[in-house]
Structure 1
Amino acid sequence: MIKLQGAFTAMVTPMKGDGSVDYDGFRQLIDFQIEQGIDGLVPLGTTGENPTLDEDEEEKLIKIAVEEVKGRVPVIIGTGSNDTRHMVAYTKRAKDLGADAALVVTPYYNKPNDSGLAAHFEAAAAVGIPVVVYNIASRTGRNIPASLMERIAKIPGIAGVKESSGDLGQIGDIINSIAVPRRNTANPFTVFSGDDAMALPLMALGGDGVISVVSNLVPAKVKALCRACLAGDYEEGRKLHFELLAFVKAAFIETNPAPIKLALTWAGLPGGPTRLPLGPISGASEEALKTAMHGLGIKTV
């Protein structure tokens, strides 16, 4: 089983003014991430606007990611769907195109029961690529409690979880009951924070890192925070946490990824507009975002 740890970026999908995908910009963002020392990349997740990408766009983005990374860091491709058949097809595509792992979100809208949810992730793992479960009830309407995660984690091929429940009690139970017993084995279970603001407390509980939105723009700082926490240097970790906190709040002032894409554009990196139904953020939100960026010493155009 692949060992996943540290700062991973939930990558945006940069777009041109006409709303088409900026593939050259995507390559540029990958190179920026690698140069800044990021530990891994996660294209085609929520931050990548995967619900509004067509299959040709997705396939081209996966190919570019794998080709551009050249095995230097793990590439985890978002392959989720609320239709298990589609999810399996997307996961197979990611495997065939050379991804290192798949990120599979809890099926949304359907609100599956426990048996259906376990079978969904079993179908994902059967494809033969490591699978990271994505638990985010705020978007899917269905939480995966620790007791059910224990059941899912026993499925061969389930490599970890991106935890966005916001529940530290639940996260602690998952780390203690699943990740800790499998640590230093051939079958580790990674626990990532799916929320930038929760990265420090999750790692203090023994978690492995973060799949970050703000690292689209400040990968080196997020990497430094993870490195400090994983080394047990929580004084440095807290310092970096509070340095980043205003920007983290601003990046989620409206629905992700609209703020972070605008921040990238202002910083001179490929970002561009979001696709409908996500629209531009308000003027007040723009001001808060600029203020937070300036607080990190980032110039805006």
Structure 2
Amino acid sequence: MFSGSIPALVTPFRDGAFDEEAFRAHVDWQIAEGSSALVPCGTTGESATMSIEEHDRVVAVCVEQAGGRVPVIAGCGSNDTQVALGHMKRAQAAGAAAALVVLPYYNRPNQEGVYAHFAALAEGCDLPILVYNVPARTVTDISVATLARLAALPGIIGIKDATGALARVAAQRLECGADFCQLSGNDDLALGFNAMGGVGCISVTANVAPRLCADFQAACAEDRWGDALALQDRLFPLHAALFADASPGPTKYALGRLRPGFPQALRLPMTPAGAAARTAVDAALAHALLI
């Protein structure tokens, strides 16, 4: 089971292309700072603006650079089941430990369609699957009942839950079983999520504060809730500031502040963080004692 602080990695770009050297350095830093796994090609990694070839290359580089030190959960989602399956097969061939698969977006399938999508992926490839539920982006949601049906399949091992509905953690635990891996997709709710049975977070903030996020998750896992609350308070302004403008603009700005030379370029339609967001990030980094 995956657990702990798992960064949804940004993808550095330079002159419009994937900056492999900067990405490899980011992977090394994340591992050295205590991240327990890595997620390339998620939302924060700007996968929506990558070609299929770029997407697969980023996953392969992540696996290669991690070198078995931590597992890699490859972003493999698509609103086209066959495209998602292709990503899964190539991620598995590259050495990924699991696939993170977002619910089909834009198409707006019903619950039977959601089930059929994931069932087809599980049947077509034996790479373990984490369902990624983020209705604010996909419009589509997965019901607890549908998730429980999927949890009965051998290939569906858990969920990244970014619904913001903490009661889902208890409901999903009761329906899917205690061994079903529940990871928060919201940094700001990770404390409550873990208290209700979650085991970690696929995190945006961990890009910027990997050690603090790892320490926070360790405190939760060890039932040191007072320590976890103190770390939550230290990180909370940063959780908010990284979404003060369209993500991952503020996150790349923050990385530029902490790691001079880190590429801050984004791909259209994403644009750099505005002045108000940059001010919020600077204040949050200071509050977290990172600058």
- TM-score, with normalisation over the residues of structure 1? 0.93
Q: Which amino acid aligns with 1:223?
A: A
Secondary structure of 1:239's aligned partner: helix
Aligned counterparts of 2:68 and 2:86: Cα–Cα separation in 1: 23
2:85 corresponds in structure 1 to 88
Aligned counterparts of 1:246 and 1:176: Cα–Cα separation in 2: 33
Kindly report which structure 2 residues correspond to 1:113-152, keeping only aligned pairs within 5 A, or say none: 113-126=110-123, 127-152=125-150
Q: Runs of 4 or more off by more than 2 Å in structure 1? A: none
Aligned counterparts of 1:200 and 1:101: Cα–Cα separation in 2: 24
Secondary structure of 1:32's aligned partner: helix
Kindly report which structure 2 residues correspond to 1:152-301, keeping only aligned pairs within 5 A, or say none: 152-180=150-178, 188-268=179-259, 270-299=262-291
Residue deviations 1:13-45 (CA, integer Å, cap 9, x gap): 0112x2221110000000001111110000000
Q: Does 1:75 align with 2:67?
A: no
Deviation at 1:156, TM superposition (A): 1.5
Aligned counterparts of 1:38 and 1:296: Cα–Cα separation in 2: 18
Deviation at 1:8, TM superposition (A): 0.5
The answer to whether the 8 Å contact 2:12/2:23 transfers is yes
Residue deviations 1:107-126 (CA, integer Å, cap 9, x gap): 00111111111111112212
- In structure 1, list runs of 5 or more residues that go unmatched: 181-187
Residue deviations 1:90-137 (CA, integer Å, cap 9, x gap): 111111111000000000011111111111111221201000000000
Secondary structure of 1:41's aligned partner: coil
Residue deviations 1:248-301 (CA, integer Å, cap 9, x gap): 1001111211110111012125242111101122111111111111222223xx
Aligned counterparts of 1:230 and 1:103: Cα–Cα separation in 2: 23
Q: Which amino acid aligns with 1:295?
A: H
Residue deviations 1:54-103 (CA, integer Å, cap 9, x gap): 12222221221111111111100000000111111111111111100000
Q: Which amino acid aligns with 2:279?
A: E
Identical positions, percent: 38
Name the count of aligned residue pairs. 289
Moved more, 210-219 or 266-275: 266-275
Secondary structure of 2:88's aligned partner: helix
1:108 corresponds in structure 2 to 105
Secondary structure of 1:134's aligned partner: strand
1:13 corresponds in structure 2 to 11
The answer to whether the 8 Å contact 1:12/1:271 transfers is no
The answer to whether the 8 Å contact 2:217/2:228 transfers is yes
